Structure formats: structure tokens, C-alpha cells
Structure 1
Amino acid sequence: METLVVGGTGTVGSAVVRALAEKGESVRAMARSPEKARDLPSGVRAIAGDLAKPETLNEAFAGVERVFLLNALGEHETDEGLAGVRAAKTAGAKRIVYMSVAMPPASEIIPHFASKIPVEEAVRDSGMEWTILRPNNFYQNDLRLREPIVQHGVYPQPIGGKGMTRVDVRDIADAAVRALTTGDHRGRIYGLHGPDALTGTETAAIYSRHLGRPVQYMGDDLDAWQKQVRGMMPEWMIRDLRIMYAFFQDHGFEATDEERTQQRAVVGHDPRTFDAFVAEVAQEWKQ
């Protein structure tokens, strides 16, 4: 059985590709620019496809029996996600695993969270065997923050002081592989989280300890954050992320007890800790 991983060269998709390949599964990695897919595991086939261009999907999806679907943060997330579901159905895929986002109460005010709700509905109504994964904010999002953390001693993601159970993308990949390759998770929705609810200050302190130098949390001033990132991302994205960070600051973003219990069944092990993630990246960043 061949599995198509949509976004197979991205942060999460590449982790899913690696995890499937390690199990000896037949994998096809879809990317907008497959010629850039230089680091795919041996035997994995890169194929062109773009959810924003549905006419490119027929060839990418043709003949696959299982699909891991995600769509990146964008202005047209709902349309792109729905295009992926339609392409999977048209191709005759038997099983689909959709990566949505963790959705605590009232979080639908966040635009890119709300955009995933219609896609979840389409997945559930697709007639395929389905599993929906709802991960928290990724540890690996911090990899793009190396410069401010290492060179300026500042942790700049304004996640607030309530606490977030962020998650390692390798745990998402482990969950995806089990959902794709076993029949144990059909018709289930899983929240995916790390074990510890960390504040911005606590996050900075972990970086400080592992890097051996002071790292301070930048604070909760969203006006200051907006000024800092203007020019680095489009205005629609700034507005979207500002709403998200305001939600994090007001409510936190923690796993429920039920999510923690259910998560182990699909991930297959205890969640990786943020401390262990930072220990890994700090060794690279100090070189």
C-alpha cells in the first residue's frame, strides 16, 4: 500500500515521510517544488502537487491508498484542505489522516484555526476511513528563532504566562504513522500535546540553561511584536497570529486529561519533552 504525504518536505510532512520510510512503507512525498526535495529517505518518491492548484493533484494522488493531509498556514486554507479531500476521494484512497489543530473552547476566533473546521467536516463525511490529529504549537517552530535566541538572548514568541503544552513534530509523525498503518484509530480525533505546560518565561529559561547564556522572554506586548515582524510576513498573517497569541495569553493552551490519556494510544509512547528538544538543538546552535 502506498501512502501520499502532502507537504512531504515541510516541518511535519518530512517527519511523517521519515517515520513511514523507517517502517518500510511505500511513500510518495508531494511538494510544490519536488526538485528541492534533496533529503528524502531512500526509496521515497517526490512528486509535484499544489493544493492551491487542484489541476496538479490528479497525478500526485493517483493510485495511492492512504493520504496524510495537511495544509500550511495561508489565506485560503479551507479551499486548499477541501481540494485535498476531494483529490483523495477521486483517487479512490481508502484512508485519510488529516492534521488539523488543537481547538480548546472559543479558539475558533483564530482565523487559521477556524479555517480547518470545514475541512474536518469534509474528512468525516468523505466515506474514507479517517483520523484527525489536532496538535498544539510545535517545538520545532522555534528553529526559525535561532538568531534572536542565540545572538540577542531573547525568546520572541509571545506565548504569555498561562502555559502551553506544545508538542514535538516527531510525536505527530508517530501518531500519523500508527493512524495510517493500523486500523485501530479509525473515526477518532486526537489532541496532541507535550507533557509540560510552559510559559514564555519558563521557555526562555530552558534555552538559557542549555545554551549556557542568558535568554529572556520578550514579554507579552503584542504591539511591539507586530512592529518587530512587520515586513517579515504579510499583513493578513500578522493579524491572524496576533489574534492567536492574544488567545494564548488570555487562556493558555493546555491538554485536557482526556487528551493525555487518548494521546498515548495513538503516539505509542510518552510525549517528548521540550527540555529534551532544546537540549538537542542547543548542541547544534553552540557549534
Structure 2
Amino acid sequence: MEPRILLVAAATGTQSGATIKALVASSTPGVSIRALVRSKASEKAQALVGVELVEGSFDDSQSLKNALVGVDSAFLVTTPFGEGQSPEAEIRQGKAFIDAAKGAGVKHLVFTSVEGAERKTGIPHADGKHEIEQHLFASGMRYTVVRPVIFMDLFPLSVGAELAINLWTLEVFLRGRKLQMVASEDIGWSFLSASFGWFCAQALLNPADYGGRQIPLAGDALTMAEVRATYAKVTGQTPWNLYLLPGFLVKWLPIPPLFLKTLTVSIFYMWYGSTAGYEADVEARRAEHPAMMTFETWLSRKIKAA
């Protein structure tokens, strides 16, 4: 088998870290993994196992060219959040990486987007990823786009005021409809259960099978009543029920609960409440990867690991 180099960008991040772990665990003959990091000396970079560390930045074109030399397939994740970041910065960085990958002769690029980005939601970070997706499609490179829905990790583990407020907020927007969710990879048990990392690793390792695919990724879909029942089953405590008029939501926006910490997330929930919301095929993803976690499995394991 001809040797292949797989590059994972932003390697110290949650999504990239899960992808690296899944790649290392696969022990695929002839495959070596290159991790793009800002600093090799950082604690997070040093914690990466089984990879070649290379330094680089999305804003440094020469460092990207150096990192991509000889790479067969690459994984790209971008974010508008964090110090110095914005939707505009994310778009610029995503396009720069795609251009550098194409220039280096990379054959296949896996990009992690967000479910709904293909439908132009009006949500800043989703529309930014839509623009990056379009740049990737126009590049002519073989691609795989993975579009996760909201991460289960946004739910608090304890049954208390924070959970009650968040469940009420979601109920206001969803009006009894189901919320699609997927387990994130920043978890304390076997990363083989981390569905996101599994799908991205499979795409990198099997470009012939995953090339050209756009994969909406969800592991469960529950109403808030079902979420309450799950908390009660797993923790033995029934979440509080808040009986407030929807107008009280305005009161919470200046001091928002977990799901409304940013204007972007607020816009997301307004979009979800006024449209069909996420449109991932949960059963199809489970058929492809039976180890995908349900919300109950995620909550049980997360609490045990805490």
C-alpha cells in the first residue's frame, strides 16, 4: 500500500482531537498523521500522541504551504468564535486553507461545517460556513462535508436552575417539536463512541467511499419533555418545570442562560423555532455507525466520567 500523509488542522481543538484519536486508533497501514498546531511547545500539542507536529496558522500562507507538502488528505475545521475571530475571519481562513491545499496537490479535503449551512439560515456562523463550503466545491478538489447538529454537551449535567431555564427557553422556541443532537468528542470515555471523530476519520481514510458526500450528523432527536424524562431516569431527579410566559424570555436575554450566551445562538434558536430546523437523518447515521450515542447514553457516561 502506498504511504499516505493525512493532515489535521487546528489539531488541539475538540473536533480535530477526536479525529486524530480515531485515526490513530485505526492503525491503518501506510498512514501517517500530521497535526497542524500553533505551537509545538504548547501543553495541548504535546499531549497529542502518534502524530507529526507541524507549526502553522490559517493567517500565514507560507506555514500552510509547508504543512501541506506531501499531504494526501486534509481535515479542516474553522470557527468564528474566540479571541480575534469573527465570521469574516473564519471565511478568510477557511478559503486560505482550501487554496493552500489545492496548491499543494491535496487530493481530498474533509470540512466540518454545520447542519443547515447549505440552506442559508441567516445565522452568521452558519452562513460563513456556507461560503467556505461553496469555495471548496468550486475548488475542484474531492471533498467531504460533515454537518453536525447541536452538541449534547451544551446541556448541563446537574438538575437545577440552569437546566430548568434552558429547557424552558427551548420549549418556547420548539413548541413541542424535537431537537436533533449529537454527542461531541470532548468526552472522558472511549473516543470510539465519539461519532463526529469517527465519521471524519472514515472520510479521511476512505476518500473513494466518502468523496463528494455531504453528511448531516445527528445521533438523537428529542422533545424537551423527553429530555426531562431522560434526566429523571439517569439522575433520579426530575428537572424543575418553569411556568413563565414567553415574554419573560426578553428578561433573560441581557443575562442569558447557557443556550443564549451570544446573539448568534439567539438567532439560531429563532431560526429553529420558525422553520423545520435541523434536517439530519438520524436513523441513516445510526445505520452507518451503530455506536452513535443517544442522549441517554451521553448523559449517563458524562455523569459517570465527571
Same fold (TM over 0.5): yes
Q: TM-score range by the shorter chain?
A: 0.7 to 0.9
Amino acid at match of 1:28: R
Residues 1:172 and 2:196 are matched in the alignment: yes
> Partner residue of 1:227?
254
Which of 22, 29, 41 is 2:35 aligned to?
A: 29
> How many Å separate the matches in 1 of 2:79 and 2:269?
18
> How many Å separate the matches in 1 of 2:16 and 2:129?
17
The DSSP-based 3-state class of the residue aligned with 1:187 is coil
> Partner residue of 2:78?
71
The structure that has the greater radius of gyration is 2
Deviation at 1:261, TM superposition (A): 6.2
> How many Å separate the matches in 1 of 2:251 and 2:224?
15
**Unmatched segments (≥5 aa) in structure 2:** 185-193
Distance 1:91 1:106, change over 3 A: closer
> Partner residue of 2:299?
278
Question: Any idea what the Cα deviations from partners look like across 1:201-223, whole Å, max 9, x if unmatched?
Answer: 43344234323334347787653
Amino acid at match of 1:16: T
Bigger Cα displacement from structure 2, 127-136 vs 155-164: 155-164
Residues 1:91 and 2:97 are matched in the alignment: no
Amino acid at match of 1:159: L
Deviation at 1:62, TM superposition (A): 2.7
> Partner residue of 1:191?
216
Contact 2:115/2:148 (<8 A) preserved: yes
Residues 1:203 and 2:230 are matched in the alignment: no
The DSSP-based 3-state class of the residue aligned with 2:178 is coil
Distance 1:66 1:81, change over 3 A: same
Deviation at 1:280, TM superposition (A): 0.3
Let me know the Cα RMSD of the aligned residues: 3.1
Deviation at 1:264, TM superposition (A): 5.1
The DSSP-based 3-state class of the residue aligned with 1:125 is helix
Question: Any idea what the Cα deviations from partners look like across 1:113-148, whole Å, max 9, x if unmatched?
Answer: 111112111211222221111111122344xx45xx
Amino acid at match of 2:209: D
TM-score, length basis structure 1: 0.81
> How many Å separate the matches in 1 of 2:283 and 2:232?
32
Aligned sequence identity (%): 26
Deviation at 1:263, TM superposition (A): 3.4
Distance 1:151 1:10, change over 3 A: farther
Deviation at 1:268, TM superposition (A): 3.4
Distance 1:151 1:165, change over 3 A: closer
TM-score, length basis structure 2: 0.77
Which of 121, 145, 163 is 1:154 aligned to?
A: 163
Amino acid at match of 1:48: E
Distance 1:211 1:38, change over 3 A: farther
The DSSP-based 3-state class of the residue aligned with 1:197 is strand
Distance 1:263 1:33, change over 3 A: same
Distance 1:33 1:41, change over 3 A: closer
Contact 1:153/1:215 (<8 A) preserved: no
Contact 1:21/1:41 (<8 A) preserved: no
The DSSP-based 3-state class of the residue aligned with 1:79 is helix
Residues 1:126 and 2:139 are matched in the alignment: yes
**How many aligned positions are there?**
274
**Unmatched segments (≥5 aa) in structure 1:** none
Bigger Cα displacement from structure 2, 27-36 vs 241-250: 27-36
Amino acid at match of 1:176: C
The DSSP-based 3-state class of the residue aligned with 1:165 is strand
The DSSP-based 3-state class of the residue aligned with 1:227 is coil
The DSSP-based 3-state class of the residue aligned with 2:222 is coil
> Partner residue of 2:178?
163
Amino acid at match of 1:163: K
Contact 2:117/2:129 (<8 A) preserved: no
Question: Any idea what the Cα deviations from partners look like across 1:31-89, whole Å, max 9, x if unmatched?
Answer: 33441325745322333333244454233323221101110233122112111211211
